[in-house]
Amino acid sequence: MAHYRASESKREQFRRYLEKAGVLDSLTNVLVALYEETEKPNNALDFLRQHLGVPGPEAADVETLRLELTELRQKYDLVLEENKELKNKLLQYEPLQEEGRSE
């Protein structure tokens, strides 16, 4: 029973903290705004972020990063292919070097 009261006390302290900081009011207002939307957004989390003032990435930034990622992946694939070719060439010459040393 004492454990239950201790956790209840912590819960109550946390609730008072959120209330004092204005978190409960802000969340309530945003959730009410979402509820009152006639056309519900596809992404409720984005709606919450936007209305709480949490900055998100700009669409242009996201597109730029996607293009950069695509380019870097292509370069990476080319470098991997080049590395594979160079390793194969190296393997062609290594046995010859071994034979030249033993003679």
pLDDT in tens, 20-45: 999 999 999 999 999 999 999 999 98
Q: Is the same domain home to 26 and 66?
A: no
- Give the model's pLDDT for residue 76: 97
pLDDT greater than 70 at residue 97: no
Q: Is the same domain home to 5 and 45?
A: yes
CA distances from 59 to 41, 56, 62, 77, 100 (A): 17, 9, 5, 27, 61
Q: Give the structural domain span for 40.
A: 1-53
Residue of 55, 15, 47, 54 whose CA lies nearest to 31: 47
- Considering its fold, how many domains does the chain have in total? 2
Interatomic CA distance for residues 29 and 48, integer angstroms: 10
Query: Look-up: residue for tokens 């209305």?
Result: 51
User: Which residues neighbour 95 within 8 Å (Cβ) at sequence distance 6 or greater?
Assistant: none
Q: What is the pLDDT of residues 47-96, one digit of tens each?
A: 888 888 877 677 778 889 999 999 999 999 999 999 999 999 998 887 66
Q: Is the same domain home to 5 and 46?
A: yes
